[in-house]
C-alpha cells in the first residue's frame, strides 16, 4: 500500500495515469512540463480536491483518481453517443411513419374515389360498387382508420 500522496510529495498524474514531471515548486504553485510548454497548477486546489485543471487538462495527486476520472468521462461520452443515436433513429422513424401515413392516406383516397365512381347513381353496377366498397373498408381496417 502506498502512502497518501500530497501536493508536496512531487507526484502528479495526468488523466491517463501517467506521471507528470514537476520541474519547480513555489509556495502556491507547482510547475511542470517541458521547456517549451511549461504549465502551473495550484497547490491549494490539489490539497483540497486531489485534482486540478491546467491548460484545459486535469491533473491528479493519485493515479487511481486519474483512471476513475477517465472512466467517468468515457461513460459520459458513451451516454451522449447513445442519446445521439436514439435521436437519429427516432427522427428516421418519424419520417418513415409520416411517409407511410401519406402513402396510406393517398391509397384510401384513391379507393374511396373508385368506390364513388362504381356507385350505381354514377353509372356503375351494384356488383362493382360492392367490390370497391369492400376493398375500401378492408384497407381502412388494415390501416386502423375508423
Could you give the angle at the alpha carbon of 62 between the alpha carbons of 58 and 66, nearest 5°? 40
Find where cell 447513445 sits: 82
Instruction: Specify whether 21 is located in the same domain as 49.
Output: yes
Q: Which residue has the higher pLDDT, 113 or 54?
A: 113
Asked if residue 130 belongs to a domain, the reply is yes
57 is in which domain, residue-wise? 13-61
What pLDDT was estimated at residue 9? 54
> Do 28 and 43 reside in the same domain of the chain?
yes
Same domain, 97 and 47: no
Q: In this structure, are 41 and 98 located in the same domain? A: no
For the segment 3-43, what is each residue's pLDDT rounded down to a tens digit? 343 444 557 888 888 888 888 888 888 888 765 677 888 88
- Report if residue 87 sits inside a domain: yes
What would the grid cell of residue 65 be? 483518481
CB 62 within 8 A of CB 49: no
Comparing 117 with 32, the larger pLDDT belongs to 117
Amino acid at each position: 500500500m502506498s502512502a497518501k500522496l500530497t501536493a508536496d510529495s512531487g507526484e502528479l498524474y495526468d488523466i491517463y495515469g501517467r506521471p507528470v514531471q514537476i520541474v519547480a515548486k513555489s509556495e502556491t504553485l507547482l510547475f511542470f512540463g517541458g521547456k517549451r510548454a511549461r504549465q502551473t497548477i495550484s497547490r491549494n486546489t490539489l490539497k483540497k480536491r486531489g485534482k486540478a485543471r491546467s491548460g484545459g487538462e486535469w491533473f491528479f495527486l493519485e493515479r487511481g483518481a486519474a483512471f476513475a476520472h477517465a472512466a467517468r468521462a468515457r461513460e459520459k461520452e458513451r451516454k451522449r453517443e447513445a442519446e445521439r443515436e436514439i435521436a437519429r433513429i427516432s427522427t428516421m422513424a418519424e419520417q418513415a411513419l409520416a411517409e407511410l401515413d401519406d402513402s396510406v392516406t393517398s391509397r384510401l383516397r384513391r379507393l374511396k374515389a373508385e368506390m364513388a365512381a362504381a356507385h350505381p347513381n354514377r353509372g356503375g353496377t351494384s356488383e362493382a360498387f360492392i367490390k370497391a366498397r369492400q376493398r375500401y373498408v378492408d384497407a381502412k381496417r388494415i390501416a386502423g382508420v375508423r
